[in-house]
A and B are shown apart, each in its own frame.
Chain A
Amino acid sequence: MDNTELFWKCVETEHEAAARFCRRISEDKATGDDLYHEALLLAWKNFPNLRSHDSFRPWLYRIILNLQKSRCRQKKTRLKREENGVLNFNRPNEYFGADVSARIWLQRGMKVLTPDDRWLITLFEIEGWRIDELARLSGKSQSSIKSRLMRARRKMREAILKSLETSGKKENQEAAHALLSSEEIAERIRASK
């Protein structure tokens, strides 16, 4: 199998998830697709330097993340944390129903995270990456990734808790009700009042 075929074979397995991920981290669909294409070109250019094809997935995502960071820098937008994020949650129109409520909560949680923690939590909680894959992607140990994820999740939970306690409590509680329909959680909300 020549290099071109090998490259496309590697891309095929990651295509759907990687393309979706690029859209998530970009302002809109077109920019996300553009990011994905650019990342593939860069990956193709450096494909001979990939030591093991088993590492294609973290390698490709590393390229995507680096490219996105570089794009943000080029724009010279002084990135606020919420704008530098992995997830663009300000597009509720593309989504439906309870997803909007979920996105609002996630947006609140993500605000308090550092950009690196955002990549990690997005890939782990939403994209379904394993700890060892994240460790390979970031070049850190698995235990370090685990503790970073735990800390990030705790920070997000605290942010949600804070917004539950702040003004507009009623709206917040209603938003929580919209998201959590189970009897058990509803009871818990009542108990916490």
Chain B
Amino acid sequence: MHCYRARKLLNESEPQSEELKRHLDICPDCAQIALADAILTESFAHERRSRQPSVVPFAELRESLKPRLAAVKPKEHGFMEKAKIRAMNHKRLSFAAAAFAVVLLIATLVPFPYSQLIGHSVILEGLDADSQDGPAKLTELLERLGYSSTNITTETGNVKSRIVIGPLPSRKAALELITAYSLSVGDIGQAAIRPIMNRVSGTLFAQAKNRLLEIRVEAAGKSDSEIEAEIEAKLRQQGFANAGVNVSTDQAGLRNIDIDIADSTDSTAEKRQIKVILPSDSTIAIETEDAGPDEIGIVTEGKTDREVEAEIRQRLAERGITDARIVVNTDSTGRREIRVEIKKER
């Protein structure tokens, strides 16, 4: 037997095997360890067996403590004391909760500086300084395009001048303006689009809230086209100049609102979201990898699985999705499971 194995067995405090005994006979080092272990075991045994001075009998103890116990009133811990004891008993959990609270406080109370995109500006350089109709033409074009509140600043040099137009709500709006201006005046020199960033300070919560686009539209008593126009106007205010909004009401009186804010040329409007409002029991949520939840709605009541599947396929086809995998199953309890898988377009 190897010394390593012998010492491991000695550590385990198991009764000594014949093999171990043989090893101890030939290995003085391990024998010494075995001796120390035997001394320790025997010392503990002696201590356990040792004659202890007798303790005060229980009845006597009870009698002697009676007046002192009567003077002490047992009390139950209050809420804070209990909470403190629990926190002490679950130190890791308490630490995690405290860390979470600190992070939450930092997120909601401590402001951090961050950059906020507030629009785009168009810079036209290399224009002829003698040409005076540039700004006037631009003002006219801006009015026609619906950006009448945009400023035009002209910096005139000796030979060439520079015009800065901004802020425009989106990159697409800036491109529109450049295109329209070049069509109307011909040579526009060098044109550049620059994002206008505003350095602001806010809490993490405020930053997250700031990035959410929220549009509130009062739909009661309004026609589909009125709602459509209102949503489009509000989206335009938010910088989505060419959002596609389609509002329709089906036979059941349910109103469907489709909003398409996809804009490949505009870096600030990359996300696409379609939201259809329908009764809650027949809403299907489709998760796409990068576009957030899309919802389509169908009335499933009184329809077979095949009919439901066909209807979903048709609705998706209307959105240009033709390769979706749809599985509709109804279990023994009547609960219907609908699974829709859509491949992400690259």
Listed from nearest, the 9 A-B pairs whose CB atoms lie closest are A102-B46, A19-B55, A102-B43, A161-B36, A192-B31, A160-B36, A125-B44, A105-B43, A192-B32
Number of interface residues of A (CB under 8 A): 56
Which residues of chain A have C-beta atoms less than 8 A from B68's C-beta? Answer: 37, 41
Indicate the member of B34, B40, B56 with the most A CB atoms within 10 Å: B40
Number of interface residues of B (CB under 8 A): 42
Which of B35, B46, B48 sits near A185, CB closer than 8 Å?
B35
Chain A at the B interface: SS class = helix
Residue of B whose beta carbon sits closest to that of A4:
B69
A45 touches B72 (CB 8 A): yes
Give Cα A4 to B68, complex, Å: 13
Interface residues of B in 42-95 (CB under 8 A from A): 42-48, 50-53, 55-56, 58, 61-62, 65, 68-69, 72-77, 82, 89
Q: Please, what's the 1-or-0 string for A30-58, where 1 marks a CB less than 8 Å from any CB in chain B? A: 00010001001100111111000000000
Give Cα A156 to B56, complex, Å: 33
Give Cα A153 to B62, complex, Å: 38
Which residues of chain B have C-beta atoms less than 8 A from A101's C-beta? Answer: 43, 46
15 contacts between A and B (CB under 8 A): A15-B55, A40-B65, A41-B65, A45-B74, A47-B74, A49-B82, A99-B46, A99-B47, A106-B43, A109-B43, A126-B44, A153-B13, A153-B40, A160-B39, A165-B32
B42 touches A33 (CB 8 A): no
Q: Which residues of A contact B (CB under 8 A)?
A: 3-4, 8, 11-12, 15-16, 19-20, 23, 29, 33, 37, 40-41, 44-49, 87, 94-96, 98-99, 101-103, 105-106, 109, 125-126, 128, 139, 150, 153-154, 156-158, 160-161, 164-165, 176, 179-180, 185, 188-189, 191-193
Residue of A whose beta carbon sits closest to that of B28:
A192
Which residues of chain A have C-beta atoms less than 8 A from B51's C-beta? Answer: 95-96, 99
Q: Which residues of B contact A (CB under 8 A)?
A: 11, 13, 24-25, 28, 31-40, 42-48, 50-53, 55-56, 58, 61-62, 65, 68-69, 72-77, 82, 89
Residue of A whose beta carbon sits closest to that of B12:
A150
Give Cα A158 to B10, complex, Å: 12
- Answer whether A44 and B47 are a contact pair too, CB < 8 Å, given A15-B58, A154-B11, A176-B39: no
Which of B25, B36, B73, B75 sits near A157, CB closer than 8 Å?
B36
Q: For the complex formed, measure the closest distance between the CB of B322 and the CB atoms of chain A, giving whole angstroms.
A: 58
Residue of A whose beta carbon sits closest to that of B24:
A188
Q: For the complex formed, measure the closest distance between the CB of A29 and the CB atoms of chain B, giving whole angstroms.
A: 6
Which residues of chain B have C-beta atoms less than 8 A from A98's C-beta? Answer: 46
Indicate the member of B37, B39, B62 with the most A CB atoms within 10 Å: B39
Give Cα A40 to B73, complex, Å: 13
Which residues of chain B have C-beta atoms less than 8 A from A158's C-beta? Answer: 36
Which residues of chain A have C-beta atoms less than 8 A from B77's C-beta? Answer: 46, 49
